[in-house]
Structure 1
Amino acid sequence: MARRYDSSTTTFSPEGRLHQVEYAIETINNSGACVGLLAKDGIVMASERRLTSGLLAPAKRSDKTFCLASHAACNVAGLTADANLLMDEARYQAGYYQYTYQEPIPIEQLVEIVCNYKQYYTQRGGLRPFGVAFLFGGYDEFHGFQLYQTDPSGNYSGWKATVIGANNQAGKSLLKSEYGKAGDDMNDEEERLPTVQEALQLAVKVLNKTMDGTGAAAVEKMELFTMTLDADQNVVHHILTKAETQAVIDSVEQETAAAGDA
């Protein structure tokens, strides 16, 4: 039955489903996982690197984490080729807003522009949905650090912590039990947010849960990114080096070993 309705983006099945959009979401679910977490003092985003061949030359830049503006960045799960078009649009809109109003574009407005662009591709014949999902992280002086998730349908939502990509349900289950558990005062939301260092450790735990295969976590399989403020309240983007990533992995392994001994 489905084959009668999945050849067109604009045709609903009798169950009210758009199969082409569901296929795009399935593409994302088969890609490397991406984790996003809000922290007291910033945002942490972590990505799984999938090494397809040892013959590939090392990338000169990240293929999972991208800067959109001085105050905004994103993680990509799905088809990077599709993501490139959307990121170019996001960078253009961020630059145009900065030029017009002499201030950074609000993060949610930037996310909405990208999602409107995505949604347009679900309602026109001859087009297909973008097979990519984003985690947008950003900062503004009114709402502080913010984290958003988008999907191919054009929906977006704000999150404190989330996972997209492969085995995302397992990652979200871990986040539900681990994120913010250190907070004692349930009326103080800020107190329940982890620090950036704690969020990095939790992100590594989630990637360990979602990644295929067994064995110890490897630096080559992970990319960790932080967004924080410096002393002058400027946003700082930082992709952790291999040595810094290894230090986070080691701290997680030590914590796991100590918990096992207890």
Structure 2
Amino acid sequence: MARRYDSSTTTFSPEGRLHQVEYAIEAINNAGTCVGILASDGIVMASERRITSGLLAPAKTSEKTYQLCGHASCNVAGLTADANILIDQARLRAGRYAYQYQEPIPIEQLVEYVCNYKQFYTQRGGLRPFGVAFLFAGYDEQYGFQLYQSDPSGNYSGWKATVIGANNQAGKSLLKTEYKTGEEKIPNIQEALMLAVKVLNKTMDGTTAAAAAEKMELYTMTRNETGECVHHILNQEEASKVIDAVEAEAASAGDS
């Protein structure tokens, strides 16, 4: 039945489904895993680096985490080429807002703009949906640190912790049990980093601890003493320390 309705982005099936959008979501579900966790003093995003060939030169910049403006960044799961178009649109919108109003754009407004752009591609003939999902991390004065997830349909939602990409259901199951939602129990940045590593260990099949640092990209957003957002991607040494702490915690739990 799907074959009669999946050749066009704009045609609904009798069940009310847009098959082209579902295919784009399926492409994301086969992409590298990305984790986002809201901490008490910032935001942590962690992503899986998929190394397809040992002959590839290491990327000079991140292929998973992108800074959109001074107070917002995003993680990408899916087609990087598609993501580049949307990242450029987000940066352009943030810059125009700051120029027009002389203040940073609210995070949800920036996310909504990108999602409206994505939704446009699901209702016009001759176009296809963007095969990419985002985790948006940002800070504004009104709502503080915020974490959003968006998909190719243009839907977006705010989260305290979530996972996109391959094996995302397994990752979300772990977050439901490990992430504490009470205000006094929300993890700090270090605890959130360790939780993100636990999620990636669960979703990345067959990864040894020694190779994990090369296959994980860990990112933090915090604020400094002057109130400016600090974006930091952990280097391999820093990532190894977090991974070792997780391994030590797991070993001690096993001994007890």
Residue equivalent to 2:63: 63
* Amino acid paired to 1:203: A
Q: Aligned partners of 1:169, 1:129: CA distance in 2, in Å? A: 23
Matched, 1:201 2:197: no
Listed as ranges, the matches of 1:120-159 within 5 Å are: 120-159=120-159
Show the counterpart of 2:219: 225
**Match of 1:179?**
179
Q: Partner of 1:186 in structure 2?
A: none
1:20-35 pair list within 5 angstroms:
20-35=20-35
Q: Distance in 2 between matches of 1:214 and 1:138?
A: 30
Residue of structure 1 in register with 2:235 after alignment: 241
Cα distance between partner residues in 1 of 2:11 and 2:228:
47
What secondary structure is seen at the aligned counterpart in 2 of 1:27? helix
1: CA distance between counterparts of 2:137 and 2:214?
Answer: 23
The percent identity for this pair of structures is: 78
Structure 1 residue 213, shift from structure 2 partner:
2.2
Per the alignment, residue 112 of structure 1 pairs with 112
2:247 alignment counterpart: 253
1:190 aligns with 2:183: yes
CA deviation map 1:226-248 (0-9, x unaligned): 00000111100000010000000
In structure 2, distance between residues paired with 1:193 and 1:127: 42
Gaps in structure 2 of 5+ consecutive residues: none
Q: What SS is found at the alignment partner of 1:191?
A: coil
The residue identity in structure 2 corresponding to 1:105 is I
Quote the Cα distance in structure 2 between the aligned partners of 1:241 and 1:57: 17
- Deviation, 1:214, is 4.5
Report how many residues are paired.
255
Indicate the RMSD between aligned Cα atoms, in angstroms. Answer: 0.8
For residues 130-159 of structure 1, the C-alpha deviation after alignment (integer angstroms, 9 at most, x for no partner) is: 000000000011110000000000000000
Structure 1 alignment gaps of length 5 or more: 182-188
> What's 1:213 paired with?
206
Equivalent residue letter for 1:44: V
Distance 1:112 1:119 in 2: 10
TM-score, normalising length from structure 1?
A: 0.96
Q: 1:180 deviation in Å?
A: 1.1
Compute the displacement of 1:215 (Å): 3.0
Q: After TM superposition, give the deviation of residue 192 of structure 1 in Å.
A: 2.0
Residues 1:4 and 2:36 are matched in the alignment: no
